[in-house]
Amino acid sequence: MTPDKYIKNYIDGALVPAASGAYLDNYCPATGKVYSQLPDSDEQDVQRAVDAAERAFPEWSKAEPGKRFRILMRIADIIEQNMEEFARAETTDSGKPLAMSMSVDIPRAQANFRFFATAIVQFGSESHHMAGEAVNYTLRQPLGVVGCISPWNLPLYLFTWKIAPALATGNCVVAKPSELTPMTAYLLSKACIEAGLPSGVLNIVHGLGNKAGQAIVEHPVVKAISFTGGTATGKKIVATAGPMFKKLSLELGGKNPNIIFADCNFDAMIVDTLRSSFSNNGQICLCGSRIYVERPLYEKFRDELVKRTQFLKVGDPFSAVTDLGALVSLQHLEKVESYLSLAEVEGGSILCGGTRVEMKGEYETGYYLRPAVIEGLPLECRTNQEEIFGPVVTITPFDTEEEAIALANGTVYGLSATLWTQDISRANRVAEQLQAGIVWVNCWMVRDLRTPFGGVKNSGIGREGGNEALRFFTEPKNVCMKYG
Ligand code: TXE
């Protein structure tokens, strides 16, 4: 299960290079150096993957759920048995602290397989009884061949979050991980082979979004696309897949607000606010990047947040004392830095961070940035409107509940929101009015895999998680039977 220098596609049960033989460089963000190669796949590889998936579909879709359960559980076991290799591969590929890969990313990848393996053996469908006349029952049938496309911020975590329910419901899958973080998807293909997943049920095609990814979205046999990534990419996917009437689940960007009332439990709030600001270098779609604080608490909050941010240790992601590792790519680091310059032009004050960390030795050329806290920016400015997706937060005081809600709702995004108050009535009242798919009260990133997950407005369409995912990956068919 050790990472290879040459990553391969997983098509029809075999590990194969791209049909063209071409490869792309895979960078390690901690060092800024190329450390492996991934297949530069194109539509030929996608075609082979779709053909294999189509061939595998009749048997897989008709397999009793118990069989699918056993194989998915075996995949989870293999990931667990090789936890450290998976975690090291994730950290090498993404720059995130090894502690995070070990405690969040890889455990969650196993949990995704276990959750959907067990869910499918308990999944039921509805019936509607017309007394004395007829009964309707709803069949939930797999769609066929589906596409799963995932990003680089939580590589195996999000990849398996899509693949596991798609497979559990009897679909065959053509999946593409991000070209920036392909290694754990490659390790997953080896785990699937070891677990005895039948050939063609899952196919993993590596490569660029506008080439391999676009070929998956365009393929007429692919019935549905589950995608997580940027809003601009989401738009392109809709433009291609919409006119083909494909089912779409799109989890896109966010510009999530944290609303902090003066009556909150300050100690719990400040710990979680630091996490929601800078976990994974702010590269989580659920990170809170706009922080609104009730005025009486504002100065105390600002001083404490800045102090704690300055204490965060940025550096070698393999070190146990590191809080923030490297950003995912040089291009992304430069994008984040461009927003820091913009914030100053827009009149903001950078209270701490925002500068590169000078590293030594092999890490000298890695992508390290000190986390930044900015104040003094209006809602309408680009820094407060656009997704930065890095270790950058803005802080702003507010005076009334109505003002806080208006500020929170004042962007095109609506993924998640976090609310801190001890007043239960206010928590319910505000949560109801927030334009977001997920609201956390007095916590952040507490996740129950059964709950609906997704955003409103430009943060996406559709929901994943629990039964929502099982419903997305199945087509309901109503059968009406009249008595006698
Ligand atoms: O994402 P892309 P990028 C946001 C974040 C980030 C910005 C751009 O703000 O700065 O998006 O990141 C594949 N057809 N998020 O450019 O391109 C691509 O190969 C089909 C938020 O890295 O959206 C990858 O596998 N697929 C986010 C996946 O889409 C295509 C997480 C995501 O990459 C494609 C990541 C196409 N035409 C970035 N073009 C979140 N919501 O968590 C690209 N891809």
Q: Which domains does the chain have, with CATH numbers?
A: 9-252+459-480 (3.40.605.10), 256-448 (3.40.309.10)
Whole-Å CA distances, 160 to 267, 353, 384: 35, 34, 32
Q: Average model confidence (pLDDT) for the chain?
A: 97
* pLDDT value of position 2: 53
pLDDT tens column, 177-204: 999 999 999 999 999 999 999 999 999 9
* HSE-CB for 378 with a 13 A CA cutoff: 5
pLDDT at 3: 61
* Largest pairwise CA distance in the chain: 82
Which atom in ligand 1 lies closest to the alpha carbon of residue 158? 42
- Provide the pLDDT confidence category of residue 307 given band limits of 50, 70 and 90: very high
In one-letter notation, the amino acid at residue 143 is L
Pocket test for ligand 1, best of 38, 233, 251, 453 (most atoms within 8 A of CB): 233
Q: How large a percentage of the chain has pLDDT more than 70?
A: 99
> What is the structure's pLDDT at 242?
97
User: Length of the chain in residues, anyone?
Assistant: 484
CA of 152 relative to ligand 1 center, distance in Å: 8
Percent of the chain whose predicted confidence (pLDDT) is above 90:
99
- Residues lining ligand 1, judged by CB closer than 6 Å? 149-153, 176, 178-179, 209-210, 213-214, 217, 228-230, 233, 236-237, 251-253, 285, 387, 389
Active-site residue, 381 included: no
Residue with CA closest to ligand 1 atom 28: 151
What is the 8-class DSSP label of residue 2?
A: P
Q: Going by CA atoms, what residue is nearest to atom 35 of ligand 1?
A: 229
pLDDT tens by residue, 220-244: 999 999 999 999 999 999 999 999 9
pLDDT tens-digit map of 94-148: 999 999 999 999 999 999 999 999 999 999 999 999 999 999 999 999 999 999 9
Q: Is 28 a catalytic residue?
A: no
Q: What is the pLDDT of residue 4?
A: 84
Q: Which residue has the tokens 């593409």?
A: 176
- Cα separation, 287 vs 98, in Å, equals 19
